[in-house]
Amino acid sequence: MSAYFAFPTAPSLALDLETVLDRLDRHDPAPQWELYVKMSAEFTDAVLQTILLDLVKATGSKSGILEQLASLLRGTMHVLLRQLLAKRSNAELAQAATYIHARRRYRGQSVYVAIPLSDSLRTRFEMVFLEIDAGRGEANREELRIAMSEFVDQAVQGYYDDFVKALPLGFIMSKASSVARMTIFKGAHAAMNKMIPSLTQSELKGLADYFDTFLLSDPELTEHPQA
């Protein structure tokens, strides 16, 4: 049974995602790069909203660390996406779309974005969330910090590294993507390491309840829509 971190897409992203993939799969001759850039920016914003901004709301934390990180990463990624994808041929975009195909899942008729999680991380989250639910969150902050640190590693792999690998890159774009990756990786780790040790039991409970809703497994998610 495969484990995932997966969230439902907004209707606008679901429509653009389905449209651009359909056009590329059908070998539509019209250039698709503008729609692909738009969809990729929406995809990025959805990831940042789910993992950072909505997480802040769920915890009730007033630190502002994750909001600052989200703003930084949004700006970094929007510039990079334009650099990486603008003016790409449909053939190149079809190659890049293998990444989107791999991340798209369905829960019933709803479109989800899913990255794989290791079984060990899923188990670690389950154990620490049980401790938080039992009122022992503050005694398990370090366990949660370790779990979130592992999640950052796997999220960077699932959302960023796999995306970049699907694109043919020259030397300059490879360097640009490496710099962006370092910004994302260091920023996310620093934010989690700073925020989690300061959370109260109530804030930890909010985080656990929120985050747990996105920890899904097969057969909850499928590769094709279900009636």
Task: Domain ranges for the chain, please list them.
Answer: 3-217
pLDDT < 50 positions in the chain: none
From first CA to last CA, the distance across the chain in angstroms is: 22
Task: Tell whether the torsion through CA atoms of 60, 107, 99 and 119 is positive or negative.
Answer: positive
Res 1: pLDDT: 64
State the pairing for strand pair 3-8/104-107.
Answer: unpaired
Specify the pLDDT at position 62: 79
pTM of the model: 0.93
pLDDT in tens, 90-141: 999 999 999 999 999 999 999 999 999 999 999 999 999 999 999 999 999 9
**Across the strands, what pairs with 107?**
110
pLDDT of residue 71: 94
Tell me the pairing of strands 3-8 and 110-117. antiparallel
